[in-house]
Amino acid sequence: MTTPDRRSSWNAVRDGTLQRRAGSSASIRVAVQWGHCSQAVGAEEVHRRLIQSFQGRNDVAVVAAGCDGACFAATQVIVELPDGTESFFDHVAGDGDLSEIAAAVDGGMPERVRPKADLEGFFSAQHIALMEGIGSVDPASLDDYVAGSGYLGLAEALSMLPEAVVALVLDAGLLGRGGAYFPAARKWQAARRVNAIRRHLVVNAEEGEPGVFKDRHLMEGNPHRIIEGAVIAAYAAGAGNVVIYVNAEADLSADRMAAALSAAEAAGLVGDDVLGSGFDCAVTIRRGAGGYVCGEETTLLNTVEGRRREPRLRPPFPTDAGLYGEPTVINNAETLANLPAILRGGARRFGSVGLNEARGTRLVSLSGAVRRPGLAEVPMGTSVRQVIDLVGGGVPEGRTLGFAAVGGPSSGLLPASELDVPLRPGMLHSSGVVMGAGGITVFDDQVSPAEVAARLSRYNAAESCGKCTPCREGTPRIAEALDRVAAGETGENDIRDLRDLAEIVGAASLCGLGQMAGNPVTSLLHFYGDTLGPNPRR
């Protein structure tokens, strides 16, 4: 049994895009990279002033694009002329001089303007796939997305049986990118096996970890890619309802997701009878309830249902009884953003990048003491040191690399001597350091590892929902003991108690927050234990 080819339906959508583009009088494009990072340094004001500057110019289109990941160069502006010539401007201030940008628009520059920031160094070590087009395309524009073969992957999926889509993604080896790295299509299989009238798919874009901003970049820069991936996954899982769960504080992400969703609905790419396939898929956006713990799957489900912000006991697992007691698949936003390319290019092309056991790329949020902080996309298997040195340009001049916090508050610290470990699922180091959601925060040798571990532990204690006793009572005790260690006031029993607390809280907690809360402690004691305690060896 086969399903009808849906590419002709997609061709009709593309033809409409081409007609609208041909009928547009705007031949010059000015893209302002306005994301949550550049918004902090005046991108919104730059966008407003440029619109005002070219008011009445029908030949100029000023676009609010997302950030291409080079946050260190914000705000960036790209001017594209009709002949394809591009000029790049970086560090454009909200109250700065825009005359050079105006001159580039009018062709008054003797040659194209190159960025002052080292963008070449930042991007040369990357493998751009998920981030392709971000920084130049209009996030809300269906035409911009379709012009780059957007939603063709959905048409390919709808031309196959759901089971064939599952098989293709399993063959590609796509693992979840939320931190657990479970095979994405296995969840779809599990939900399909449950005899139910209705199934759900939830896009987890909560992203509450400090130092992690990958999903926000995707939502702000190319939300259609997430929507397309979500509908593909819903089709494969037999789910007719999709909920996109966006962090409560990510207003720009939510706004751009909503604009893209509205455009997709109008084009028949979501909703009833998607691309004439007979597949109905309702998509809605829900805002998070606030708090790191909302990223935990069952806590997320509780908040969507209007219940307390706390995890559920498992089993049953969400694929058996999730949202409203019905089978539910929960996939991370980055995970789903990989699907359009897999459906268009096939499993082999996707699997040609990365590791055999972890294929594809990984979005890495790089911050702290590096020359070029931002969001990087690198092949799985790239080492932490390569991300810091090649992408980030190393630590600023005059400073010495000390250590890196990898994986956020659910992971731990790696000293400079241990940074050659490759980014991969599971443990990066036996001390408890994991890749998690892909955050790397770099510190120089003037920062105390104990103080960083204490801050991570204070964060875990503050974010505990309080439902289970080990986490509710144990995480504050960990934080208090680490505060004493960081202040040099370690008692005879503090180190022993820290080891015990980390083990007990990790083993007895109900959800991932408590289960991983001991990792900053175990990594600190593993690498720096000799320098701590009442009789440290310096």
Two tokens at 53?
């500057």
In angstroms, the CA 130 to CA 141 distance is 17
C-alpha torsion sign, points 344, 349, 351, 354: negative
DSSP-assigned letters across all residues of 405-439 = EESGGGSEEEEGGGTTPBP-SSEEETTTEE-TT-E
Nearest to 376 by CA among 97, 147, 123: 123
CATH number of the domain at 361-445, please?
A: 3.10.20.600
Reported as type and span, the H/E element at residue 363 is strand 361-368
Residues pairing with 32 in the sheet: 64, 77
Distances (CA, A) of 356 to 196, 271, 399, 414: 35, 37, 37, 25
Q: Hey, what amino acid is at 493?
A: N
Query: pLDDT 10s per residue in the chain (538 long)?
Result: 557 788 889 999 999 988 888 788 789 999 999 999 999 999 999 999 999 999 999 999 999 999 999 999 999 999 999 988 899 999 999 999 999 999 999 887 767 788 888 999 999 999 999 999 999 999 989 999 999 999 999 999 999 999 999 999 999 999 999 988 999 999 999 999 999 999 999 999 999 888 999 999 999 999 999 999 999 999 999 999 999 999 999 999 999 999 999 999 999 999 999 999 999 999 999 999 888 899 999 999 999 999 999 999 899 999 999 999 999 999 999 999 999 999 999 999 999 999 999 999 999 999 999 999 999 999 999 999 999 999 999 999 999 999 999 998 888 999 999 999 999 998 899 898 999 999 999 999 999 999 999 999 999 999 999 999 999 999 999 999 999 888 888 777 888 889 999 999 999 999 989 999 999 999 999 999 888 766 555 4
- 188 HSE (CA, 13 A, CB side): 28
Tokens 């799957």 belong to 297
Q: Rounded to an integer, what distance in angstroms lies between the CA atom of residue 391 and that of residue 374?
A: 9
Of 198, 172, 205, 200, nearest to 187 (Cα)? 200
For the domain spanning 450-531, the CATH number is 1.20.1440.230
Query: Any idea of the CA torsion for 218, 219, 225, 228, to the nearest 10 degrees?
Result: 140
Of 3.10.50.40, 3.40.50.11540, 3.30.470.10, 3.30.230.10, which CATH number belongs to 142-350?
3.40.50.11540
Give the global pTM: 0.95
* Residue 327, Ramachandran bin (φ over 0: left; ψ between -120 and 50: alpha; else beta): beta
Q: What is the DSSP letter of 237?
A: H
